[in-house]
Amino acid sequence: MALAKKVRLDQLKESQKGHASTYSTRYFKEKIPTYILPESSAPANAAYQLIKDEMNLDGTPALNLASFVTTWMEPEARQLIEENLHKNFIDHDEYPQTEVIHERLVNMIARLFNSPDECNSIGTSTVGSSEAIMLAALAHKWNWRKRREAEKKPINKPNIIMGADVQVVWEKYARYFDVEARIIPMEKDRLTINAHEVERHLDENTTCVVGILGTTFTGQADDFEGINDLLVRIKNEKGWDIPLHIDAASGGFISPFIEPDLKWDFRLPQVKSINTSGHKYGLVYPGVGWMIFREDVDFPKELIFNVNYLGGEMPTYTLNFSKGSTMVLAQYYNFIRLGFEGYKDIASNLMANARYLRDQLIGTERFESIGSLDHFPVVAFKLKDNKGYSVYDISEKLRENGWIVPAYTLPPNTQDIDVLRVVIKENFSRDMVDSFVKDSEVACEVLSGKKKIRPFPATDSHNKIHSHHVA
């Protein structure tokens, strides 16, 4: 017979006492550690429950209409993610099959963006489009500097041309890497950029022109063909080989499926690089982005570093180093799972629901749509006239029902226009559109004073609310 001794509980650490009824432990009547690392450990279930409960204060991802980022993936995708959370993407020698899959993805995306057969395209995954943009723009600056040095010309005044409708990362790039940002202002009748506006800002120090496929503010597209034709003409006339970079963070996984004839990609000769976000309409959780260069000769080899201290010889071009493998693998899951047909079906549904939402909002006679819905499932809208309340009031009121809808001003020169914006995502159904429109109307009625929110009736002995007894 085996003998066992009675355990002295007072000699055990708290974390060694095992699981207890979570809400009966002392951790739920004391403050959760905040700014100082706690002295002692806690049971796993208590630590988990403390944080899980606090997360209830976050918004509901399914009702987050502000973000472009994916908030839903299939259970099988989540399982794949969980099984590979411990793998560091940068460890190619240790996880060689992950790198094989990465190479497949770069090839698939390059061909999706119509890389010509004769081109040797090159690309990489990033933690998002922000890193991809930094890397691509830096490469173009590097190429500009090499050309200028070869011509024995000054290299102290590089500039980059962009519209005021760009995402903030472009302004970050200009400031971080000491490049003059030549920002084309918007007009009330022009919320994108075109060749005429770009030409007014070009000179021999222009490192790159930025075109946006799916603008952040209104979901529109710049005049890619016009800008490309301008840059081809400038190259022939003046010898300035200025690349066109396409920021397809939002539109890169929409346009190929719903507008195959829209020329925005490598079909245009001056498009030298493209970035896109896998964690937006690539339908992957954050964070994964992609940077694709038209030709490997367009990519400066001096920016590629080779390291061997992880095992084998490995080239790397990143702003960071370590990152998870999971979202690269999740991107591959989506490509295999959905294929072109699946992405096309989803993109078509997104556009149909976006147009339905726009029409329903206009039908209330309270709102006007801003921009077109030709390219991208984003609905930007403003109040039709002065109603005594603002879009900011509506945004705040909608938040009471859980809807997260941003209200903001348009870029400089159009900043007197205040808008709300709804990003249509995969899990935003037609039924949810109807619910959102109804809640928007109620919000407007409450704000205008036409509808009062009634409190629940009191339940004292004098009211007429009946209670039912079990016989």
Same domain, yes or no: 298 and 393: no
Q: How far is Cα 426 from Cα 253, in angstroms, rounded to an integer?
A: 12
- Pair 95, 244 in one domain: yes
Query: β-strand 418-423 against 244-248: which pairing, if any?
Result: unpaired
Name the burial class of residue 151, with classes exposed (0-12), middle (13-18) and buried (19+) by CB atoms within 10 angstroms of its CB. exposed
Query: What confidence score (pLDDT) does residue 320 get?
Result: 81
In a domain, 197, yes or no: yes
pLDDT, position 405? 97
Closest CA to 125 of 266, 312, 325: 325
* Nearest partner of 250 among 124, 67, 125, judged by Cα: 67
Is 49 a domain residue?
no
Residue 428, domain CATH? 3.90.1150.160
Return d(Cα 310, Cα 316) in angstroms, integer.
Answer: 12
Residue 311: predicted pLDDT: 63
Report how far Cα 354 is from the mean position of its chain's Cα atoms: 18
Identify the pLDDT of residue 121.
96
| CATH assignment of the domain containing 324 | 3.40.640.10
What are the per-10-residue average pLDDT scores of the chain (471 residues)?
74 64 72 88 87 91 94 96 89 85 97 96 94 96 96 96 94 96 93 96 97 92 97 97 97 96 97 97 96 92 78 75 90 98 97 96 95 90 90 96 95 92 95 97 91 56 44 42
pLDDT in the model for residue 467: 42
Domain C-terminal end among 334, 363, 396: 334
Q: Give the per-residue pLDDT at 304.
A: 83
Do 232 and 194 belong together in one domain?
yes
Query: Cβ atoms within 10 A of the Cβ of 323, count?
Result: 18
Q: Are residues 236 and 140 in the same domain?
A: yes
- Provide the pLDDT for residue 457: 54
Q: Is residue 237 part of a domain?
A: yes
Does a structural domain hold residue 453? no
DSSP letters, 163-179, are ETTS-HHHHHHHHHTT-
- Mapped onto helix, strand or coil, the DSSP state of residue 342 is helix
373 and 396 both lie in a single domain = yes
Cβ pair 17, 43 in contact under 8 A: yes
Number of independent structural domains in the chain: 2
Full residue range of the structural domain in which residue 239 is found: 80-334
| End-to-end CA, the chain | 57
Residue 15: its pLDDT value, please?
A: 59
* Residue 330 and residue 370 in one domain: no
User: Looking at the DSSP assignment, which residues form a beta bridge with residue 374?
Assistant: none
Q: Which of 299, 334, 369 is the last residue of a domain?
A: 334
Domain membership flag for residue 251: yes
Q: Are residues 271 and 354 in the same domain?
A: no
302, 334, 366: which is the final residue of a domain? 334
pLDDT at 111: 98
Residues 110 and 222 in one domain: yes
Please check whether residues 212 and 319 belong to one and the same domain.
yes
Are residues 215 and 96 part of one domain? Answer: yes
Residues 317 and 273 in one domain: yes
Kindly give, in sequence order, each residue whose CB lies less than 8 Å from that of residue 146, ignoring residues fewer than 6 positions away: 300
Is-above-0.95 flag for pTM?
A: no
Closest CA to 337 of 80, 147, 159, 148: 80
Distances (CA, A) of 300 to 273, 303, 412: 13, 6, 35
Q: How far apart are CA 42 and CA 48, in angstroms?
A: 10
Same domain, 160 and 257: yes
